[in-house]
Amino acid sequence: MYINNEEEEYNLALSRFESMLKTNKVFFFDSEEFENIILHYLDTGRVNLANKALKLGMEQHPNSTGLKLVQVELFVFENKIDEAEKILKELYIIEPTNEEIYIQQANIYSKKDNHIKAIECLNIALEYTDDSADVYSLLGMEYLFMDQLEQAKDNFIKCLSHDPEDHSALYNVIYCFDFLEQNAEAVIYLNEYIDKNPYSEVAWHQLGRQHYQIKEYEKAYRAFDYASLIDENFIGAHLEKAKSLEKLKQYRDAIDSYKITLAIDDPTAYAYLRIGKCYQKLNELDEALDYFLKAVHEDPLLDKAWVNITSYYVKTNDYAKALEYIEKAISIDSENKTYWKKYGEINKELGFIEEAEKGFGKAIELNDFELDTWVSWIDTLIKVGNTNEALQTLLAAAEYFPGEHEIEYYLAGIYFSILNFDLGEEHLVKALTINSNYVNEFYKAFPNLGDNLTIHRIISNFNFLKN
């Protein structure tokens, strides 16, 4: 079996160092081994061990430039900026062409939010480095910090031209394209990248995302399919492929793709939810319910799944069961406005008007600014006889929803009900002007006004003038 010698030596050095700490024996390591050991502990957040390794390293190699640069990195990590800069000045005198000095100085400037100076240092580092890709990537990040997305994008592209396998840079390039709303340009770039790197599943996946954003779902599907063929365990590719298939109304194929993600890794509530939605589109409601139930079992806070479960029982006219499930959802998350609105709708269907009023009122208290929620609440307030609160709610709704015919009709009905005929007529005329086809709904909301001759006269006069 082939073994990577560098990786084997790295692991051996780390193992020897940790053995040394346990036995209190002192082993010899070359300076590069110490650098790798220190950076390992720094990357894993074990700063105390990094400092121990640095102390031993400096004792064994007091003149090592590499170890001093690692010491700078450690100082910057610990926010000891003055100490770090002092070492860099000393190193600059000794090795003015060492690119790592400028990279570390750029890191310090960046930490101080002086990104222009950081960029100056990185441009100097470019003159001396053999690893241009890394420096271009750092330049891209500095421009990102400054919100200069075009320059950031250009530097990440340069990074990829030197190191096509730098996936972090590829993601950053696409982030820039997305932020700049350059989807078409992103597609061109990714196609050029794929021409040179045809087996990059990341690039195919990103290409699919771009096509999906501009609603080219067939092309998106093909790109995600390539990504999933290159790496059959690429969950993101399978998920996005399934989403594209949904958009193409190929629901059974979408279900198959979602199910692949369940086989690759632990099941997710999102995948269960989407499978349920696909079965719903196929009108296979029992299968849909089964997956919605699996979704809430996996994630009890997934509100869309709870709503779909209750909607299933509403469609089958089993309102008692719908109420049972929406009450379960509310017991888990009592601050969810969608649950309370659904609670109001179900109770209204069951004829529990006081509970319905409570549900709609709670939804609005939780900042539900949907017009139909307000209209439903007003309707239930009227039905429970709370005319004054209904009127105050209507006046507030008129400010949120100016020019909406439902609000005007309800205002007219309330004012006629409390015998304020002038305001009643004013709002009824406004309502008729906006939408004269709502009259039947008006009479359903206010059956007590069905024989009101004044209202009949206003409506007749309006229709006469209209014709």
Q: pLDDT at position 467, please?
A: 63
Q: What are 348-376's pLDDT values in tens digits?
A: 999 999 999 999 999 999 999 999 999 99
Distance of CA 247 to CAs 49, 107, 183, 279, Å? 53, 45, 19, 14
Q: pLDDT under 70 in the chain at which residues?
A: 1-10, 467
Q: How far apart are CA 221 and CA 211, in angstroms?
A: 9
Nearest residue to 145 (alpha-carbon basis) of 124, 170, 117, 178 = 117
Q: How far apart are CA 238 and CA 449, in angstroms?
A: 59
Name the percent of the chain lying above pLDDT 70. Answer: 97
Q: pLDDT at position 38, please?
A: 76
Q: pLDDT at position 11, please?
A: 73
Q: pLDDT at position 126, please?
A: 94
Q: pLDDT at position 262, please?
A: 95
How far from each other are the two terminal CA atoms of the chain, in whole angstroms?
91
Q: pLDDT at position 55, please?
A: 76
Residue 147: left if φ>0, alpha if ψ -120 to 50, beta else—which one?
left
Q: pLDDT at position 3, please?
A: 40
Q: How far apart are CA 91 and CA 26, in angstroms?
A: 28
Q: pLDDT at position 93, please?
A: 82
Q: Quick one: 99 exposed, middle or buried, by C-beta within 10 A (0-12, 13-18, 19+)?
A: buried
Q: How far apart are CA 24 and CA 17, in angstroms?
A: 10
Q: How far apart are CA 364 and CA 344, in angstroms?
A: 11
Q: What are 112-153's pLDDT values in tens digits?
A: 999 999 999 999 999 999 889 999 999 999 999 999 999 999
The pair of structure tokens assigned to 185 is 């340009």
